[in-house]
């Protein structure tokens, strides 16, 4: 890494002073942050993210982190010689794959992120949706149009789940007590079956249940883009639905925006889609007037 630019003590004090109104706005509020994509792969980026999360907790904000792990899962499956298949943007998760997904998400990735936060001076607790029956899920179903026959058919995604219920009993024992929950997006069915849940969807369900002040989705793109590929800084739910209908929001951005709308309908005050590769993206969004991504609101 290159050395950080010099900032005079006076400028440092001014920056802190300008952040005060934003800190007051989020005082004692819960912020759910979904951390995923390829930004998770670089150690220095992950450690910088961990420091920012600890800073939030030190300023009397209650951060809850939900992480993904798609690239890391793909690497492990390849190492073990297990082929990955995708349908409707989701990984088809068979019995062999769900074991690896659980090992990577609830094991190596979760504990690595917990370690980085604790190293930065925080007190992180690594969990997944199975702990305390936090997230109960049902089998996800998707339909696709067969290119040969042009007939719509149901796709069996295997052990992929959709959140059905969020039980806050366990999270309420942690939030507000200087502990930082770090959640892997795994859930259990009513019969005890493990399900792999899309991390955005999982974060939206948790944020909705918590009635969070903000849900931040850290992704690989700057936010929602218009047809000329310029960032749209602010969208209402109505405008977001119109952009989906006219094709401006397409492909993988559609489920992200639908997660944002769902979270807002459940009581989250605002959802922001941000580029997770931007340095200090979380702090820029919460503690400055500029923001860095697309805010979607009611």
Structure tokens at 16: 């802190």
139: exposed, middle or buried (C-beta count within 10 Å: 0-12, 13-18, 19+)? middle
Write down all domains in the chain, each with its CATH number in brackets: 30-297 (3.40.1160.10)
Which candidate, 14, 7, 13, 33, places its Cα nearest to that of 280?
33
Per-residue pLDDT at 290: 75
Listing DSSP states for 194-225 in one string gives EEE--HHHHHHHHHHHHT-SEEEEEESSSS-B
Q: Which residues contact 169 (CB under 8 A, 6 or more apart)?
A: 132, 134
Per-residue pLDDT at 142: 74
Three-state secondary structure call for residue 272: strand
* Per-residue tens of pLDDT for the chain, all 298 residues: 455 667 788 887 888 888 888 888 888 999 999 998 666 767 888 899 999 999 999 999 999 999 998 888 888 988 988 887 777 667 778 888 899 999 999 999 999 999 999 999 999 999 999 999 999 999 987 766 666 666 777 777 888 999 999 999 999 999 999 999 999 999 999 999 999 999 999 999 999 999 999 999 998 888 999 999 999 999 999 999 999 998 899 888 888 899 999 999 999 999 999 988 888 889 988 998 877 889 999 8
Q: What is the pTM of this model?
A: 0.90
Which candidate, 141, 148, 161, 162, places its Cα nearest to that of 87?
141
Per-residue pLDDT at 1: 47
Which candidate, 259, 284, 138, places its Cα nearest to that of 207?
259
Structure tokens at 86: 């995708």
Q: Beta-carbon neighbour count of residue 24 at 10 Å?
A: 10
């Amino acid at each position: 890494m290159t050395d950080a630019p010099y900032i005079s003590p006076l400028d440092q004090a001014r920056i802190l002073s300008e952040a005060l109104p934003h800190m007051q706005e989020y005082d004692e509020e819960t912020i759910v942050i979904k951390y995923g994509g390829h930004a998770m792969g670089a150690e220095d980026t992950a450690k910088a993210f961990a420091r920012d999360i600890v800073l939030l907790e030190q300023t009397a904000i209650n951060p809850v982190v939900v992480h993904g792990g798609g690239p890391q899962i793909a690497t492990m499956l390849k190492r073990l010689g297990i082929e990955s298949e995708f349908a409707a943007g989701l990984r088809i998760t068979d019995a062999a794959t769900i074991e690896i997904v659980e090992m990577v998400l609830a094991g190596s990735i979760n504990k690595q992120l917990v370690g980085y936060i604790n190293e930065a001076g925080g007190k992180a607790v690594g969990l997944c949706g199975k702990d305390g029956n936090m997230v109960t899920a049902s089998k996800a179903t998707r339909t696709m149009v067969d290119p040969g026959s042009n007939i719509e058919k149901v796709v069996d995604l295997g052990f992929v789940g959709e959140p059905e219920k969020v039980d806050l009993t366990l999270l309420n024992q942690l939030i507000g007590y200087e502990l930082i929950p770090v959640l892997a997006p795994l859930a259990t069915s009513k019969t005890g079956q493990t399900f792999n849940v899309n991390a955005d969807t999982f974060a939206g369900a948790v944020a909705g249940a918590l009635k969070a002040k903000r849900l931040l989705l850290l992704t690989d793109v700057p936010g929602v883009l218009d047809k000329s590929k310029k960032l749209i800084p602010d969208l209402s739910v109505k405008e977001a639905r119109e952009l989906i209908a006219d094709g401006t929001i397409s492909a993988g951005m559609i489920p992200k925006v639908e997660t944002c709308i769902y979270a807002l309908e459940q009581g989250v005050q605002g959802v922001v889609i941000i580029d997770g590769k931007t340095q200090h993206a979380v702090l820029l969004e919460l503690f400055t007037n500029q923001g860095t991504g697309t805010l979607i609101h009611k």
